[in-house]
A and B are shown apart, each in its own frame.
Chain A
Amino acid sequence: MDHKVVVENLVKIFGKNPSRGVELLQQGVAKDEILSSAKLTIGVADVSFHVDAGEIFVVMGLSGSGKSTLLRCLNRLHEPTAGKIVIDGEDITAMTRPALREFRRTKIGMVFQNFALYPNRTILDNVAFGLEIRGVEKDARQKIAQETIELVGLDGWENQYPSELSGGMQQRVGLARALALDPDILLMDEPFSALDPLIRKEMQEELLRLQEKMNKTIIFITHDLDEALSLGDRIAIMKDGWVVQLGTAEEILNNPEDEYVVKFTEDVDRSKILIAESVMHKPLAVALLEKDGVNVILRKIDKHGLSSILVVDGTHRVVGGLHPEDLVRAKKEGLSIKDIPVHEVSQTLLSTPLRSLLEMSSDTAFPLAVVDEDQKLVGVIARSHMLAALARRGVI
């Protein structure tokens, strides 16, 4: 499938005669030098990346690194100086004004750091704003706005004014205003930076909850690595207008490209990166291949209320898993455990990131077996554990 958003060699330079700056950039002149010698500010310097449909793409970097400028080029609030932006196969940079307006009205929504709500409009009219601009009839747009307000958990507030709401609630309105248009793409410029940490966490969870339902393509800006890690499918790190590294959270943490990225990753709480070890449980009971008979195993299952049991050999290596139904049948028919099917069980190492585990465990009735370097069973992860752990950390 084609990428939803493709950005190729995007450059944005502020100042008079910016194309001069493009040449300087190509010659490898640094941002500071271009500013002092040519009086040009590099907003975004030659950036290329793509974003897939349904992905949350996080752009991270220090203040002034060009994040906002990059984002504003995507809906052409800033006119790119050079380069190409292709969304759904259409070149945004070549659009005429009317086409661009239509594109903004239907395809791409934006959420702002300081909410940018209209103080003289009610919550309902704020959320309906985009639809009003699109020319949707009053009744229809208010109906959609009302539904969107409910979606973000603000029902009952529709007739208040923004100043009557807390920061977190105001940003829910900001989010609802963008969502009311049902755009494919959401641009979010540090939407939670102005909120205090607890509310911020809550909003991140809210966003992920909504994203699960709506599956938008989200380009999310933050200067906070924790936020980037909990939201981003992939993360781009910007510095002086350049993207210095792009990859998944794990890739960036394990292989920081340069000093700048290292600085970012240093103060991250590593426990926030969930790995198998941090969510596994001790197995309540296992079936010993050489020792246990059918009756013993059934008793173990019964005693601990298990829905299946892992079988290990004499060296505590995982052989597979048994279904209780098979055991019950074996008991009735007087068979030994050697005669009933032992199912294959997925195994994983202690250090495997949870992200990869989610995919592994979804199609099996058995828990994941977590093993150490010697392949000895050290823990199990039921799918419910995984979800609970993720939920506890506010990842879902």
Chain B
Amino acid sequence: MDGFRIPIGQHVDSLVDGLQEHVGFVFDWINDVVYATVMGIESVLLGIPFIVFVVITALIAWKLAGKGVALFAIIGFLLVNNIGLWQPAMQTLSLVLTAEIITLLVGLPLGIIIAKHKGLDNSVRPVLDLMQTMPAFVYLIPAVMFFSLGRVPGVMATIIFSMPPMIRLTSLGIKQVPNDLVEAGHAFGCTPYQLLVKVELPHALTTIMAGVNQSIMLALSMVVIAAMIGAGGLGSMVLRGVQRVNIGLGFESGLAVVILAIFLDRITQGLGKKKQEF
């Protein structure tokens, strides 16, 4: 047995090479779309006057999560601006938002499909487990191989890391719709599409929003790791603080991440609760 080593690494290598060779255009396309999205969102966030941004986010926070969170948003963002981290904070926000949009676009349909096919559920579950337990650093390697360095591989690594809860909770939400509600839908002549949009999704919304919340939190936790492959933003400020043993900078950048995280967390939680208030 000793002499033989199963060449897992080799196989992964050749798989990646093969993909790049044969379907490289797909990666190019993905690269373009993701890049355009990140930069688009970033230029909007940085394009609007700071004070307008604060007012808008405070209003959103007020509407969805109450006065306290609105006040927190105002003070938090003023602080981030004050310590000179506004630009990296907005870069990070646009990265997280882009990752979340794609996570939603992919995770929601996948979650629905998995909920509807029991067989699929059994085969996807271990993959999701693997995705979630694999150290996040590992995602940097394929991200770099396919998309080199910069924002796009940062977004891609973030997406892979934050996708599982989106899929899991969507599928859970759909499966949790009480059987008699589904049966009533059928009894009234729903098409499968009507059943999904008028019965299942509305009922699963709270759980799905919990998925959105969790995946955003995971995306934020990837900020520093993604910065290692050039994703920029607050992550790179943290890294700079570490490299230069600049505790002050590291702490300030970390604080800005925390402020963003709390804001996004309360907003998405509020969204889930709002919809649930019947």
Binding site for B on A (CB under 8 A): 75, 77, 100-105, 109-110, 112, 114, 116, 118-121, 129-130, 132-134, 161-163, 177, 181, 187
Contact = CB atoms under 8 A, between A and B. Distances in A.
B188 A77 contact: no
Given A101-B189, A120-B278, A77 B203 contact: no
Interface string B175-206: 00010110111111111001000110011010
Given A116-B184, A120-B278, A101 B191 contact: yes
Contacts of A102: 189
Nearest to A119: B278
A121 B201 CA distance: 13
Interface in B244-278: 275-276, 278
Given A161-B278, A163-B278, A104 B202 contact: no
Given A116-B181, A133-B198, A104 B187 contact: yes
Interface in B61-111: none
Contact of B188 (A119, A121, A133, A161): A133
B118 to A, nearest CB: 15
Nearest to B184: A116
A75 B187 contact: yes
A112 B188 contact: no
Nearest to B180: A116
Contact of B183 (A77, A109, A118): A77
Contacts of A105: 188-189
Q: Label chain B's interface by main secondary structure.
A: helix
Interface of B: 178, 180-181, 183-191, 194, 198-199, 202-203, 205, 275-276, 278
6 contacts: A104-B188, A116-B180, A119-B278, A120-B202, A120-B205, A133-B190
Given A133-B194, A133-B198, A161-B278, A116 B183 contact: yes
A161 B275 CA distance: 13
A104 B189 contact: yes
A141 to B, nearest CB: 12
B183 A112 contact: yes
Nearest to A101: B189
B187 A110 contact: yes
Nearest to A132: B198
In this complex, the member of B188, B191, B194, B276 whose beta carbon has the largest number of chain A beta carbons within 10 angstroms is B188
A118 B194 contact: no
Given A114-B180, A118-B199, A134 B189 contact: yes
In this complex, the member of B181, B185, B187, B191 whose beta carbon has the largest number of chain A beta carbons within 10 angstroms is B187
A130 B183 contact: no
Contacts, number: 63
Contacts of A133: 185, 188-190, 194, 198
A112 B278 contact: no
A189 B185 CA distance: 15
A104 B191 CA distance: 11
A114 B180 CA distance: 8
Nearest to B194: A133
List the 6 shortest-distance A-B pairs measured between CB atoms, nearest first.
A105-B189, A104-B189, A116-B180, A110-B187, A116-B184, A161-B278
A184 to B, nearest CB: 15
In this complex, the member of B181, B185, B194 whose beta carbon has the largest number of chain A beta carbons within 10 angstroms is B181
A105 B205 CA distance: 26
Nearest to A114: B180
A103 B187 CA distance: 10
A114 B178 CA distance: 11
A129 B202 CA distance: 13
Contacts of B184: 110, 112, 116, 118
B189 A118 contact: no
A278 to B, nearest CB: 40
Contacts of B180: 112, 114, 116
A134 B191 CA distance: 10
A78 B236 CA distance: 59
Contacts of B203: 118-120
Given A100-B189, A120-B203, A163-B278, 6 more contacts: A77-B186, A109-B187, A116-B181, A118-B181, A120-B202, A120-B278
Nearest to B191: A101
Contacts of B189: 100-105, 130, 133-134
A193 to B, nearest CB: 14
Contacts of B198: 129, 132-133
A110 B181 CA distance: 12
A130 B278 contact: no
